[in-house]
Structure formats: C-alpha cells, structure tokens
C-alpha cells in the first residue's frame, strides 16, 4: 500500500489543458534552436505547470515522446531536477532582473530557460553557447554574472517545513539543509545469493565507474564517480543489481529476517525491500493495494497479495516479522525528488498519520507473540515517526519497543547526508 509520493497539493489541470500544453510543445520542437536536453527540460517544466503532476512522471512522459536516449535523458533530468531543487531562488532572481529591465516581460519559456540556466550554474554544469544565445540581453547578463560570481543557491523549501526541521533536528539542521541542496548519490543493491560486491565493482570498473561499499548496509554499493549502466552489465549480473538507497536497504536489514521466518511486507510499493528480503533468504509475502504496481514490482520468490493494509485479509498472528514501510510525506527523499517540496501541503499530514496508525495497529495484530514489527517511513517529520509509534503503542503491555539496530541510532532516525531520511522503530509482541 506504500505510495512513493503524497497526493499533489497543486491543481492538476484538466486533460484538455494538458493536451494543449503538449500541442504547444510539438510546435516548438521543430523550430527550437536549443540543444535537445535543454529543450526537453523546458517541456518538462511547461507540462508540470499545466498538469500539476510530479516531475519524475512528467520527465518520463517527455522522454518517451521525444525518444530521448540514455545520455539525453540523464542530461534532461539533471537540468529539470536542478531547477526544482532551487526553484524559488532562481525564479526570484529572474523576476528581479525582468523588473529591473522594465518593458514587456519575455514569454514563459524564456523565463524558464533563464531559471534553468541559473540552476545549472549553481550545479557546476556547462551551458551550451546556443542556450545563452537564446536569452535576451538582460537575462544573458544575469546568467553570465552568476557564473562569474560562482553562484550558490539555497534549496527551495516551504517555510513551514524549515521550521519543523529546525525543531526536530536542532543539532544537525544546518548539515541537513546543506545536504538537501545537492543531488543524492547513486546507490546499488546487490543480491548476494547471485553475485558479490567485488564482482559488481569489477564489472562497473569496465564502465569507468568507481564504487565503494556503503557502511550502512552489507548489500549496498555507492557510486563515487561515473554513470553506471545496469543494462551494460554482463548477463550473469543483470537482475542481481538494482538502484536502492543504502538507507532504504538498512530498513530491510533492520527486519533481521532469518531463513526460517515468514515475513509480511505490508506496504510493498515499488518492491525494493521485498526483493532484498527475498535475497536474504526469508519467505516473503508482499501486499499492496495497487494491483498494477504489485504486478510490476513483485520480486521473484515472493508471494503477492492485493490488499489494503489497514484492513488486512491475513489471520492474526500468522507472521514472524512484519515490515510496515508506511506511505508518508516523503520528506526524507527530497534530494531525489526536489519538486516534492513544491507540492507538500501540511494539511495533508493528518490523513497520512491516520493511515500510518491504522497500518501499525494492523501489523501488531498480524505478528506472532515473540515476533517483531518494523515500522518505517522515509519522512523527516516527527508526527509521522515517533508520534505514530507513541500513539499506537501507548500503554499496551503486549508490545515492547527494542533499540533500532545499527546503523540506526537507538531512536531510529537517519538523515541526509548519511543517506536519504529514514525512521525505524522495532516493536516486539510479548506472549
């Protein structure tokens, strides 16, 4: 039942509006003097504005329609997600330059181009001369001055979220906010039944990719330099390696499943944790409310069940371990999905918290006496983490909270830059 993103707080726009946006894109494609990746990035911004959809979904649609190859797709994503990371700051700089110049403001696509250029400067990306030539004089000067000054930009976060983070992480908030200004590294998960970290490291070296083992999970390789192509790995390794943040892998390891254990992944979502649990030898049942998503993500060796985790069809006490990777605000993944900050709405949180409490309550009923429930989120917000555990466990005498296993601190929160933000609570049913 896990959702990778919260409901959008933006008005989605009707289908007619989105089709019109696509039509305008097609007209622009033929005569666009910009390099392909830059033109595609502007398409992504325009369609996101028209349809109100998450940036990764819009990015995938534009990549299909423009038939982008892997290189162009990566370049487009770098530009579009770089803009999203600093949207508030770069849009303000462009608006100030336009006001200072006076006269008629350029059309929206030109303003977007200038904003993307500023974000690219902050990220240290090269700007093609054709891109600068497409900017009017005042905006070209703005970008040139930014490049000469070594522009540094803050991450774009709503004020309410910054306030919550300062309250929740007073000792590390500056380091946390600085980490959100940078893209997350690529991390790979390894199925150690089929291969080893060393074998994958050597295979990636042939692609001029440098990796290092992660200290957070024994199955994780961090990419230090280069761009890893999993499709270019030797056939014996394909399917044994997949992208997965090392903090997310640490959540799966926190289940501490043994080969004799029957494990329920109550909110299987994209299936990464179920896949890792299967690779560790556990008998895994993966449940999700979305039948299509479950069909796409169910790993080999796991049993799939379409089910609403808040109203589980399973018998009480039928699992040794239950993982509740609960749907949440996703604030721990802001390095990977920076546009999420543009869509977050604090008024959505009470509904998410209610779902999280229902899921954890159901999980505690499904685990055997002596068994364990691991409650996890990719949220940085206390009300989705400690708040949920405290509300559900409360004064229950049949549940004991255990210290979270390494690499999590005892109370269970990992934050960027160590990895994406994750929270884990380990609960044990007593007899």
pLDDT digit string (tens) for 172-231?
999 999 999 999 999 999 999 999 999 999 999 999 999 999 999 999 999 999 999 999
Residue 18 has pLDDT above 60, yes or no: no
How many other C-beta atoms can be found within 10 angstroms of the C-beta atom of residue 274? Answer: 31
Please check whether residues 216 and 292 belong to one and the same domain.
no
Please check whether residues 78 and 122 belong to one and the same domain.
yes
CATH for 370? 3.40.50.150
Residue 178 included in any domain: no
Residue 170 included in any domain: no
Q: Are the C-beta atoms of 414 and 421 separated by less than 8 Å?
A: yes
Q: What's the confidence (pLDDT) of residue 308?
A: 93
Range of the domain at 141: 15-149
Greatest C-alpha distance within the chain: 76
Q: What's the confidence (pLDDT) of residue 31?
A: 53
The rounded distance, in Å, linking the Cα atoms of 379 and 5 is 11
Please check whether residues 416 and 308 belong to one and the same domain.
yes
pLDDT digit string (tens) for 85-113?
999 999 999 999 998 877 667 899 999 99
Q: Identify which of 250, 249, 242, 279 has the alpha carbon closest to the alpha carbon of residue 263.
A: 279
- In the numeric block, which tokens belong to residue 350? 């009470």
The rounded distance, in Å, linking the Cα atoms of 364 and 76 is 44
Model-level pTM? 0.87
Q: Which residue has the tokens 């305008």?
A: 24
Please check whether residues 228 and 261 belong to one and the same domain.
no
Query: Which active-site residues does the annotation give?
Result: 378
The rounded distance, in Å, linking the Cα atoms of 54 and 349 is 18
- Residues listed for the chain: 431
Domain tally for the chain? 3
Please check whether residues 94 and 120 belong to one and the same domain.
yes
Please check whether residues 128 and 230 belong to one and the same domain.
no
Given CA atoms 108, 113, 117, 119 in this order, what sign does their dihedral have? positive
What share of the chain in percent tops pLDDT 70? 92
The rounded distance, in Å, linking the Cα atoms of 358 and 316 is 15
Residue with more model confidence, 163 or 100: 163
DSSP one-letter string for 111-173 = HHHHHHHHHHHHHT----HHHHHTS-HHHHHHHHHHHHHT--------HHHHHHHHHH-TTTH
Name the pLDDT band for 32 (thresholds 50, 70, 90): low
Please check whether residues 30 and 142 belong to one and the same domain.
yes
CATH for 207? 3.30.70.1170
């Amino acid at each position: 039942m896990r959702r990778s993103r919260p409901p959008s707080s933006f008005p989605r726009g009707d289908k007619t509006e989105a089709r019109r946006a696509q039509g305008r894109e097609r007209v622009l494609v033929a005569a666009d003097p910009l390099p392909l990746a830059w033109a595609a990035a502007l398409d992504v911004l325009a369609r996101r504005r028209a349809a109100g959809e998450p940036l990764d979904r819009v990015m995938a649609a534009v990549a299909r329609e423009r038939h982008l190859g892997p290189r162009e797709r990566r370049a487009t994503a770098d530009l579009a997600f770089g803009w999203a990371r600093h949207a508030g700051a770069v849009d303000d700089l462009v608006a100030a330059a336009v006001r200072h110049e006076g006269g008629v403001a350029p059309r929206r696509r030109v303003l977007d181009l200038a904003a993307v250029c500023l974000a690219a400067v902050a990220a240290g990306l090269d700007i093609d001369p054709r891109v600068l030539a497409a900017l009017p004089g005042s905006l070209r000067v703005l970008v040139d001055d930014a490049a000469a000054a070594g522009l540094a930009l803050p991450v774009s976060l709503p004020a309410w979220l910054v306030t919550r983070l300062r309250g929740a992480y007073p000792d590390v908030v500056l380091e946390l906010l600085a980490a959100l200004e940078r893209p997350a590294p690529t991390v790979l998960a390894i199925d150690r039944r089929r291969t080893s970290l060393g074998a994958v490291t050597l295979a990636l070296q042939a692609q001029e990719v440098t990796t290092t083992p992660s200290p957070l999970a024994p199955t994780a390789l961090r990419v230090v330099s280069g761009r890893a192509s999993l499709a270019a790995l030797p056939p014996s390794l394909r399917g044994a390696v997949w992208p997965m943040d090392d903090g997310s892998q640490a959540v799966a390891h926190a289940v501490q499943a043994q080969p004799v254990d029957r494990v329920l992944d109550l909110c299987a979502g994209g299936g990464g944790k179920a896949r890792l649990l299967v690779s560790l030898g556990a008998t895994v049942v993966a449940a999700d409310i979305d039948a299509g998503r479950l069909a796409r993500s169910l790993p080999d060796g796991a049993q799939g069940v379409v089910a609403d985790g808040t109203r589980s069809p399973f018998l009480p006490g039928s699992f040794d371990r239950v993982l509740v990777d609960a749907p949440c605000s996703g604030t721990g993944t802001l390095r990977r999905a920076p546009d999420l900050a543009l869509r977050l709405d604090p008024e959505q949180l009470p509904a998410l918290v209610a779902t999280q409490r229902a899921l954890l309550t159901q999980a505690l009923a499904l685990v055997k006496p002596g068994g364990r429930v691991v409650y996890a989120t990719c949220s940085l917000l206390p009300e989705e983490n400690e708040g949920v555990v405290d509300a559900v466990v409360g004064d229950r005498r049949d549940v004991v909270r255990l210290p979270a296993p390494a690499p999590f601190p005892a109370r269970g929160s990992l934050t960027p830059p160590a990895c994406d933000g994750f929270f884990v609570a380990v609960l044990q049913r007593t007899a």
